[in-house]
Amino acid sequence: MGNQLPNQSYQVFKSRPLSTEGKDALIFLYQPIIESDGLALYLSLAADHQSGTIAADAAEHVILDLLNAMNVGMQRFMQAKEKLEGIGLLRSFEKTDPQQGTSYLYLLQEPVHPLDFFQDELYSYLLLNRVGERKFEQLVSLFQPQRASLTSFQETTTSFTQAYGLDPKRFAASESKLQSVQQAFQEDQQPLALEEAAIDWDFLLYEAQRRYIRSENFTPAFKQKLLMYHALYGYDVLELLDLMADHVSLTTGEVDQKRLEQAVIRKSRQTFSKTTRSEDPETESQLRRFNTLKQNGFSDNDILLIQESEHTAPIPFLKAIKVEKNSFMTDSEQWLIKSLVERSPLPNSVINVLVHYALVVQNNAALNGSYINNIAAQWSELKIGTAEDAIKHVRNLVKTAKEKRTRPQTNGNRIIRQEKLPAWAESPVEEATLTPERQAELDRKLQNYLHKKAGDK
């Protein structure tokens, strides 16, 4: 759907008036999730619908009037609309007319009843994540059904059959009519849904079995939880597997979902704290290391690459490079990186430099399995253990390859046999299609992207 403009028109429809329970759920339970702009947009659209049902002409509305009512600009309006759509409170449709242009239809959905809200783990988790445990418990107490004390009482309630009776033949004769009425009263309510394809389930289930996590754990409800963790915190498949492996019973293979949820929240807070600290001015030790790297001949771009390689996991690092190259991470590349992390002795920072070398320096469109494994095996034998060692090694090999191609060594009339370099090192950097300026630009975008992702978390 294209960008909406303030002068475009829209209509609002809601199948029934907002109920008292729906309004309570909207204010107490949904508002912390959709935030104040989302609440303002919902109530403004509800008011537009109400005025349309009262007015005789039921005229279309203009988005500019909605912006004025909310006292926001288009960016905040679009963000609020997305929040309502994402949690199932709003469905949006557009129509293009050659003469009238583009107009929109907004279908407001009734908020989930508070009792149903707390019985749905996804809604409850969203609320808990936003308000914290203390406020969450207060809201649970506010909406929790009250139960009467029946101690010493005996039930004497008259049954339906005793009170009214039921003629099975007459009921069967009316069944088709009753079913049509039932369908007429069903609302087109969209449940909270997450993008199933956001997680590679085949890969996750395969690796889960290797970690003694039984496939029976992955019920539809649990898969929805994992999708929620991915959507909220950006955890990839490997991170989710690590979290599950820390909270699985080695005897039954069952994941303790309660402890997993607590670990997910705890990890997100630790990640946020780490990110916040990293934005502080450089410590004295960091400054000393920066100066040491500079004295050893590393450029500013080299040092930034070293830092990002040390602070980013291989999968997000690969994904970031792919994003900046307007490409995407393939399944085979994800499996390749996963295999390197598990099987090779190379640390993550060295794997990241290897990925950067293949995709940015040599400008390959994708990671070739045999090519990458060959390099990784060579580096493992050489015991390359740091990002700076990896960068230095690549440069030495390329430099040696250039010199031996342009100036063969001789001893009298006999040509000395040149040492054969690994096949992957024979591809010279100067033959890559990337210019140094383009490589520097891509590196800078990569660093900006990774910093932005860290800030989002």
Backbone angles phi, psi at 9, to 5 degrees: -100, 160
Looking at residue 415, what is its pLDDT?
Answer: 46
Looking at residue 225, what is its pLDDT?
Answer: 84
- pLDDT under 70 in the chain at which residues? 1-2, 52-59, 186-195, 232, 268-289, 397-398, 401-457
CA atoms of 346 and 383, how far apart (whole Å) = 8
**Tokens 């040149």 sit at which residue?**
418
pLDDT tens digit string along 249-291? 878 889 998 888 888 877 765 544 333 334 444 455 666 667 7
Amino acid at 430: E
CA atoms of 379 and 421, how far apart (whole Å) = 13
Looking at residue 419, what is its pLDDT?
Answer: 41
DSSP string, 194-216: --GGGS-HHHHHHHHHHTT--GG
User: Quick one: CA torsion of 72, 78, 79, 85, rounded to 10 degrees?
Assistant: 130
Q: Return the H-helix or E-strand segment holding 85.
A: helix 74-86
Q: How many residues does the structure list for the chain?
A: 457
CA atoms of 94 and 237, how far apart (whole Å) = 35
Looking at residue 24, what is its pLDDT?
Answer: 93
CA atoms of 50 and 259, how far apart (whole Å) = 46
pLDDT tens digit string along 12-44? 998 888 889 999 999 999 999 999 999 999 999
Contact (Cβ atoms closer than 8 angstroms) between residue 329 and residue 319: yes
Contact (Cβ atoms closer than 8 angstroms) between residue 400 and residue 370: no
Domain boundaries, the chain: 9-112, 196-278, 284-456
CA atoms of 32 and 117, how far apart (whole Å) = 14
Looking at residue 345, what is its pLDDT?
Answer: 84
The domain 9-112 is placed in CATH, from the list 1.20.120, 3.40.228, 1.10.10, 2.40.160, at 1.10.10
Looking at residue 138, what is its pLDDT?
Answer: 93
Looking at residue 302, what is its pLDDT?
Answer: 78
CA atoms of 273 and 278, how far apart (whole Å) = 9
Looking at residue 280, what is its pLDDT?
Answer: 42
Contact (Cβ atoms closer than 8 angstroms) between residue 238 and residue 315: yes
